[in-house]
Structure 1
Amino acid sequence: MAKIFVITYSMYGHINAMAESVVKGLKKAGAEVGRYQIAETLSDEVLAKMHAPPKADFPIITPEDLPKADGFIFGFPTRYGGAPAQVRAFFDATGGLWSSKALAGKPAGFFFSTGSQHGGQEATVLTSLPFLAHHGIIYVPFGYAHPSLLDNSEIVGGSAWGAGTVVNGDGSRLPSQKELEIAEAQGESFAQVAKKLAAK
């Protein structure tokens, strides 16, 4: 059984909603799941002005936790086509793991959210791949493994790079049923890959 950490940064809850479906898919495939969140770097005063709700009750991930997992799925919103500062700060703290090659050969995937259909979902993954490459982490794309990724009858986030949701600029749109199903399918698919790698 592969142990997979689902690690998120979610300010308004959209990513955490997607993560629930990712976890469901991982467990369906028999993976052991650890659920973590990335530490907030903004002050309570700033978060209040942004009308951010209280954080979810998940443990804060530390770099020292990462070697305990066989693989990781990271979920976070895009910021100008890249990872938020909080995610970057977390990876900036993993230098010790890099020097010891503690994460080399482990698989990782991404899921994400944007405010619009053209908000940079694929760019967010592309600009996050260096985090993985420098550690020797194996990126696992989702591919077009779910039929809803080819559905043009309505707004559907996600792509071959991973599951995604489009939340509107004001955050008013919640993940759709199709987006949640894609996230679940990604979790299941990722677990199968991680299981094969963990067995070697």
Structure 2
Amino acid sequence: MKLYNFFRSGTSYRLRIALNLKGVDTEQVALDLRKEAHLSKEFKAINPQQLVPALTLDNGTTLIQSPAIIEWLEERYPQPRLLPQDPEARAHVRALAAIVGCDIHPINNRRILEYLRKNFGADEAAILAWCGTWISAGFDAMETLLAADPGRGAFCHGQAPGLADVYLVPQVESARRFKVDLSRWPLISAVDAACAQLEAFQRAAPAAQADAA
């Protein structure tokens, strides 16, 4: 399998974590978004949306969109589980992941920020304020949900990392990059620290990628 990704992309990062947790090895193909390598005709033939990540399977099928790929992983490689068995707990974990995947990341990703810079004249202070606003709103909600969850352990839910952690850790990394003070979310910080002890998360981190610079 070939994984087309960028070391600093949050969606690529979350998929690398999921692949590592599942023990699935891939050949990584780095696309430097800073040089707009993802906009090439060659990559458009692989992923018409020209976004990372994309995962090309051994049979030539290419999967796109990190939520869809992670769902495929959960179905194709059911152990270890990323979702709990209880339906209500599964909904809770999916909701935590969706706060990041639907409400924080999409409006803070590179193409949105580039549009703000080029079309609205946003300087770096404005970009940091923009990102901090949406990260803070999402993290405030997540912190409250974590505090109210009787099933919370060292991770977002339970004593093993799951889907919510896969989404949360890259967003914490992004928060640091955008200079957001994480001290106001001690539970989120504790989950991030617990995940940082695990090899699956360590190997997926942006700084551990061959193309990191």
Q: TM-score range by the shorter chain?
A: 0.3 to 0.5
TM-score (norm 2): 0.31
Larger radius of gyration: 2
- Whose helix proportion is higher, 1 or 2? 2
